[in-house]
Structure 1
């Protein structure tokens, strides 16, 4: 999730100070991605360094308003027009955990899958309850429900994937998947110190 581009897009609507940006971000995402104010100000300083925003003067209450530059507005347009590219490499903690667990001797992988399925189903139930708790038709509600819908679809996909993992594992006896530590030594690594 790009905090940088999201803050720029909000600033494209008009000047804001840090806490105001945080509140606007929360309004537009249903507070599903909490940002701390320090993160906002660090991002603003980087955006300023890159020439995408300018720091204004402080008002009577001491709020420093930030405004977007022309270059910043162009970056927002490019961001909104560009699709999100999913990474090629798998950095999914659950996928890595199950891949490693499936190859470790003595690990009950079915129990690992079942524990995750239970947690994923609980999360899915909580998301569905939250989604149907209220719909007042406001723009904030729509923005929040879009984020929650994405989380629901992800949770549903995770449960389907866990079903798939369970089927794949059932097709192999557990001992056939186990990998002992390799006796082959990697070509790279820290060389042994010479003893004197």
Structure 2
């Protein structure tokens, strides 16, 4: 999640102060990724350092306002245009947990999977319930549509995670059922022919001559 670009997008609509940016950010994303005011002001400080925002006086209540600059608008356009990089995915705690559990003999990995599946399915049901509530009236406000898009992404994400957990469990079942092939014993060597005594060979020659 890019907080800096989210704040730039909000500032493009006009000057705003820190807590106002936090409120609008959480409203736009349905508080899925809550921010604290400290994060907002830290990010604004970095944006100001990079020339993307500037202080813009105060409002009537004495709040310090920030405004986006041309550099900030250019960065925002570039952010919208370039795809999100998936070649270096963020660390996923669940994937790391399962990868570690596979190599640990003291952990029941199937129980880990089942516990996570219960949590994932419940989360998916909660998101689906929120979506149904959001669709009780056709969303027309842009903020409502933005929240609906985020909500649907969360539903798709949890559905995919549930399918992946099913796949992990099936793979582990196949792994536990597989047995190493029995080593085939080498075929027995042909019996060595018994040595013929010298006397017997000599007797045979004499018979042939007679």
TM-score, normalization by structure 1: 0.84
In the superposition, relative to structure 1, how do residues 139 and 60 fare at CA in structure 2: closer, same or farther (>3 Å)?
Answer: closer
Query: How many Å separate the matches in 2 of 1:52 and 1:106?
Result: 52
**Which one of the candidate residues 154, 159, 163 is aligned to 1:160?**
163
Alignment partner, residue 45 of structure 1: 45
Work out which structure has the larger RCO, using CA pairs closer than 8 Å and 6 or more positions apart in sequence: 1
Give CA-to-partner distance per residue, 1:117-148, whole Å, 9 cap, x none.
Answer: 11111111111111111333122221111001
* Cα distance in 2, alignment partners of residues 99 and 17 from structure 1: 44
> What residue in structure 2 maps to residue 110 of structure 1?
110
**RMSD after superposition:** 1.8
How many Å separate the matches in 1 of 2:54 and 2:106?
59
Distance (whole Å) between structure 2 residues aligned to residue 90 and residue 25 of structure 1? 22
The number of equivalent residue pairs is 176
C-alpha displacement of 1:12 = 1.2
Gaps of 5+ in 2: 180-210
1:52, 1:69 within 8 Å by CA — same for their partners in 2?
A: yes
Are 2:168 and 1:171 equivalent residues in the alignment? no
Structure 1 residues 105-114 or 74-83, which shifts more?
105-114
Tell me which residue corresponds to 2:73: 73
Other-structure match for 2:152: 149
Where structure 1 has 5 or more consecutive residues not aligned to the other structure, the ranges are 177-196
For the residue of structure 2 that corresponds to 1:34, the secondary structure is coil
Give 1:27 shift: 2.5
**Partner SS for 1:172:** helix
Structure 1 residue runs of 4 or more that deviate by more than 6 Å after TM superposition: none
